[in-house]
Amino acid sequence: MRTFIAVDVNQEIREIATDVIDRLVGLGFKAAWTKPENLHLTLFFLGEMDEKAVESMALSLNKRLQGFPSFSTNLVDFGYFKFKQSPRVLFLKLEPTKSLQRMYLEMKSELTKCKVKYDDQGNFVPHVTLGRVKEYPNNWEELVKEIQVPKVSLVIDGITIYSSTLTPQGPIYKWMYKLKFEGGLVRNAR
């Protein structure tokens, strides 16, 4: 199953994301928009994994992250990744705090130790994907300069491991494991 590790976002960020998506649609962007319930901060995309490998990885990460102090980061901006001169991914940017970077590097180290393959994008840019662009207005870079997002705090006290099933209506995410830093690994019984 397609698997990824993420941090869940709060309701406030979901509402801001919905407002920004509405604004982008109004500006003429067409994209595969992320549904509010699917919004998250992706840490690692792992691709296809079997259930036993996911369970083993969850146990290892749980052990590694147990006792990691809870921390917060802030939603700080709207951003995009572009290819040549075209926007490809539109997102909300999160502040790359020292704690977030440290957690990411701890996890990366544990995944490497467990020989879990992951999509390594090189530089970790913490963001919440709003959509993958299909069409965009000519003066898109000028238009998006106007998009402001309020500074909102996101408390991070754990991570979630998800499976992703691709459908014509968009991906369906199902959480498999929730790991809390204070201890506790919860497995989805469904």
pLDDT digits (tens, 9 = 90+) for 121-141: 778 899 999 999 999 999 999
pLDDT at 3 over 80: yes
Provide the pLDDT for residue 39: 95
172 pLDDT more than 90: no
The token pair at 86 is 């075209």
| Confidence label for 186 from pLDDT (cuts 50, 70 and 90) | confident
Quote the pLDDT of residue 190: 63
The top-level CATH class assigned to 2-187 is alpha beta
pLDDT score at 170:
78
Give the model's pLDDT for residue 153. Answer: 97
Bridge partner residues of 151 (DSSP): none
The CA distance from 184 to 55, in Å, is 14
Active site residues: 40, 127
181 phi and psi angles, rounded to 5 deg: -60, -35
| Helix residue ranges per DSSP H, the chain | 11-27, 51-65, 98-113, 140-144
Give the separation between CA 32 and CA 132, rounded to whole angstroms.
Answer: 5
Give the mean pLDDT of 174-182: 95
User: Which of helix, strand or coil describes residue 95?
Assistant: coil
- Cβ-in-10-Å burial (0-12, 13-18, 19+) of 106 comes to middle
Q: Is the pLDDT of residue 180 over 70?
A: yes
Question: Max alpha carbon distance in the chain (Å)?
Answer: 50
Mean per-residue pLDDT, 56-83? 95
**For residue 183, pLDDT beyond 90:** no
Quote the pLDDT of residue 122.
Answer: 73
Nearest CA among 176, 48, 52, 47 for reference residue 120? 47
Across the range 23-30, mean pLDDT stands at 96
Provide the 8-state DSSP code for 55.
Answer: H
Amino acid residing at 166: L
CB count, 10 Å around CB of 67? 9
Q: Which helix (H) or strand (E) holds 84?
A: none
Average pLDDT, the chain: 93
Task: Report domain extents, the chain.
Answer: 2-187
Q: How far apart are CA 62 and CA 64, in angstroms?
A: 5
CA distances from 132 to 50, 87, 129 (A): 27, 9, 8
Q: In which band, very low, low, confident or very high, does the pLDDT at 184 lie, cut at 50, 70 and 90?
A: confident
The answer to whether residue 119 scores a pLDDT higher than 90 is: no
Is 120 a residue whose pLDDT tops 80? no
